[in-house]
Amino acid sequence: MKNNIDIKKEAIRVLELEAQAIQALVSKIDTDFEQVVGEILALKGRVILTGIGKSAIIAQKIVATLNSTGTPAIFMHAADAIHGDLGIIQKDDLIIALSKSGNTPEIKVLVPFLKHSQNKLVALVGNTASFLADKADYILDTTVECEACPNNLAPTTSTTAQLAMGDALAVCLQSARQFTDKDFAKYHPGGALGKQLYLKVADLSDANGKPLVSPEDHIRKVIITITKYRLGATAVINNDEIIGIITDGDIRRMLERYDSISDLTAKDIMALRPKMIDSAELAVNALHKMRENNISQLLVTRNGDFAGIIHIQDLLKEGII
């Protein structure tokens, strides 16, 4: 391998440097940070994040995090801003400019225009003696001692610090807004994460039908019912009461146990005290219950009555697993 470097040792060095950079931010959470949170909470407009180069990429990630946790945010590229995109900014917006040096040509051109608009300007900056820091209303200090890059050039620890400061800001805003898991689900309806927060058992089980037999039904009917619904099980119901469950596994064990099945009925092979879940519960809770009991399906109830079956395959299809 070129230069015979110790790959493991080098990777550990990078991670330790970046961890140290994040740890150093703890002492930089000051009054300015608190005031920025207050400004954003009182904001009638949006948070506009801007930057150039790698800082622009980090700014876009912070925008995504803010939007998904209840704070409206927009990204504006610093280079594009001075060529027409300044029109994005409205009078009630707050601007956060990201820069390691705070002295890039684009930032020096952009900042006077931002100040002219009289919007509050926050510098998320790695140099508190910079042009950007001097012109900002608030400073979020992300200074790092050095980059993890062997040449101390490529943004590594500095962008990690920017990202961590952005996360701290977003989470503080989320907590202050009392942004709940239900709120979070509204912003993530299409992904597996969102589905865990809003998809109910009934949303899946209602499409499966209601396989059921009575305790006196012949085993032939039991097998036909299980086969018809393709859920690997059927409920055993007596006078509208759930008294048991028969699964594919019960059928196999029956064949091992009995030489003849001609006189067998559902009550002879059913399992008592089946695991159940209410139709109004979150589907992800059904997954937890299946895993706890090492089973593949649950009987679903609605107002105490049998309402169907939810199968682990239903959860797989929805991407919850």
**Which residue, among 24, 50, 20, 47, has the nearest Cα to 36 in the 3D structure?**
47
Q: Which residues pair with 74 in a beta bridge?
A: 48
Q: Which residues pair with 94 in a beta bridge?
A: 47
Cα distances (angstroms) measured from residue 191 to each of 75, 240, 261: 23, 38, 47
Q: Record the tokens describing residue 194, joined without a space.
A: 């969102």
Pairing status of strand 233-238 against strand 241-247: antiparallel
Neighbours of 271 (CB within 10 A): 15
Cα distances (angstroms) measured from residue 221 to each of 35, 215, 235, 246: 70, 11, 12, 12
Q: Tell whether residue 218 is among the known ligand binding residues.
A: no
Q: Which residues contribute to the annotated binding site for Zn(2+)?
A: 77
Q: Which residues contribute to the annotated binding site?
A: 77
